[in-house]
Structure 1
Amino acid sequence: MVAKAFPGFTPISDRIFLRNEDSDSIETSEKSSTDQPTAIIIYGWGDGTPKNVAKYVDGYHKLFPTARILMVISSTFGASYDSLEHRTRAMMPIIDTLFPTPGDGSERVILQAMSNTGGIYAAATLNAYQQRHGTDKALPHHLCVSDSTPGSVVFSTEVGRWSRAMALGSAKYFPWPFIVTEKMWWTFLYAIHFLERAIGREPSGVYSLKAFLNHSMATPRAIRLYMYSKADDLIWWEDVEEQAAIAKSKGYTTVLELFEDSPHVGHMRMHPEKYWGAIERCWKASMALEGNSKP
């Protein structure tokens, strides 16, 4: 199923949108520098609308006007319920659009995952790339930006926050009080938890963390930028720092950008200069590392 068109974008599936090129991009492409990204993939937070996620597309376009930008819209329900096979199929249009053939070293890619849902579908994209091109190949990218993710995946301690996140994204569809919606999702998540234990299926959040620590899937050449806040009530800042430390111990270059007062996936809105400055700085660092690694 193909989604309805969103202004300024071409839908390539029911949830993936390609930013349309404009005259400025075409003119600038003739002067494109070899240290600019060729593609940027933005995985929106759970139940984020195209209108809101597109604000990040606009920000990236201002920084890197020649890059092709894909925007991925996903639901928290799908991230929690769908199997890895289903999530992988859903991300395959990204591979067919940006990587129809295995990478040849000319790609310069930024991945941005927002909240745990974004991270789950980013991991599914890593898997889709290997399904299309072989398990000996990893999706090429030079920078991975994690906005308000990853958090803890310990079910017993996190189910309350997960159910609240799902309620925040869906409460408008139900006539009853917010607390009822929250309890409904709490019950749903427990049902999924017991079902996965019964059939031996790995939870999507656990798979996501493992995928991004696997060198064969997520290249250690890419810098990891973590954008997180002490005021985030859905993803604890301590959990982000713990996951970043684990990634560092596995050989990944990590950069932490801590915000003091911004809410969940609200850092760019409250502190745009700091937010985009960190991304631009890390991209330049990734290009410097790439240049130093060449013979």
Structure 2
Amino acid sequence: MAANTSLSSFTKLNDLVAIYRPANARPGAPDPGTPQLIVICSWLGAASKHITKYTDAYQQRYPYATLLLIRSTLASMIQRADIAPANEVLASFVRDKSDSRSKPPIVLHAFSNGGARNVASLIVDFRTTRTGSTFPFDALILDSCPGRADVSSVSRAITLSLPLSSWSRSAASWLIYLAVLLLMTITHLFKIEDTVSQLRRRLNDPDVVPTSVRRLYLYSKADEMVRWEDVSGHVEEARERGYERVQEVVFEGAAHCALMLKGGERYWGAVGGCISGKL
């Protein structure tokens, strides 16, 4: 029976970062195809009840893996997210991996632009704080991302992340739309790279994501938050940049960050294949 992996069983490291360590150690030698660490970077404003669908599924499939959760909030999007505790965890696993003959994989799983932004920041911060060391992860899973920065999608994502009633959210949406429009106008006029464009560039930068990393894109043609064409375009850009270990699985009729609900078997089959290298 799988262990209880509700978020109450996670140890909170700060407001954004929490960790789940399995109660029992893996018997025998580590399996080189089974991850020792899975980093889950949730989407902007994701509710705990939705996040647990993924943490529970991971625990059922990989009962001896440590789960590191990094949440994305509106505050963390406006200001630089404090994910330093996550880097301390990564450093400990990197030391363990370097000492292990089997070298079990480390997996990064990002949801939407908010989660992918935290993934990119995590990798860049690790290299900065570890004097140029590259974080040796093995698989990158991108769910419903990356998109592009346009006023409608960004303002909608912010609006839906707010814990408001339907009426309050509708009223706030106009103010948010105008604020995003103003911000994007300023970045365009002053030729400032917006955060989503920076994200897209970083994910296809070999200095950030090595070309040896297995990569899986999961996205839906029915996504109303992130256009599937933008994700597909990033897949092509990755291949053009020399990333050969890239796979994509396209869903029909699934909502943003809800692909698992439309095709759970297909979703987790692809994830498992990416982690093991058999996709």
TM-score scaled by length of structure 2: 0.87
Q: 2:85 aligns with which of 81, 93, 102?
A: 93
Whether the aligned pair in 2 keeps the contact of 1:228 and 1:237 (CA below 8 Å) is yes
2:3 corresponds to = none
CA positional deviation for 1:178: 3.6
Shift in alpha-carbon separation, 1:11–1:29, aligned structure 2, 3 A: farther
Shift in alpha-carbon separation, 1:30–1:195, aligned structure 2, 3 A: farther
Deviating more after overlay: 70-79 vs 188-197: 188-197
Deviating more after overlay: 179-188 vs 42-51: 179-188
Instruction: Say whether 1:11 aligns with 2:8.
Output: no
Q: CA RMSD in A?
A: 2.4
Instruction: Say whether 1:126 aligns with 2:123.
Output: yes
Whether the aligned pair in 1 keeps the contact of 2:22 and 2:65 (CA below 8 Å) is no
Give distance in 2, aligned partners of 1:199 and 1:240: 26
Give distance in 1, aligned partners of 2:268 and 2:127: 31
Q: 1:65 aligns with which of 63, 66, 73?
A: 63
CA positional deviation for 1:40: 0.6
Question: Identical aligned pairs, as a percentage?
Answer: 23
Structure 1 residues without counterparts, runs of 5 or longer: 289-295
Letter in 2 for 1:52: H
Whether the aligned pair in 1 keeps the contact of 2:251 and 2:259 (CA below 8 Å) is yes
Secondary structure, counterpart of 2:209 in structure 1: coil
2:147 corresponds to = 151
Give distance in 2, aligned partners of 1:148 and 1:189: 21
CA positional deviation for 1:48: 0.3
Structure 2 counterparts to residues 99-248 of structure 1, below 5 A: 99-100=91-92, 105=98, 106=103, 108-135=105-132, 137-153=133-149, 158-170=150-162, 172-173=163-164, 176-196=167-187, 201-248=192-239
CA positional deviation for 1:111: 0.5
CA positional deviation for 1:72: 1.1
Secondary structure, counterpart of 2:72 in structure 1: coil
Secondary structure, counterpart of 1:256 in structure 2: strand
Structure 2 residues without counterparts, runs of 5 or longer: 1-5
CA positional deviation for 1:92: 1.9
Residues 148-194 of structure 1, C-alpha deviations (whole Å, 9 max, x = no match):
001123xxxx2112211211121x43684543222121122123334
Give distance in 2, aligned partners of 1:91 and 1:211: 18
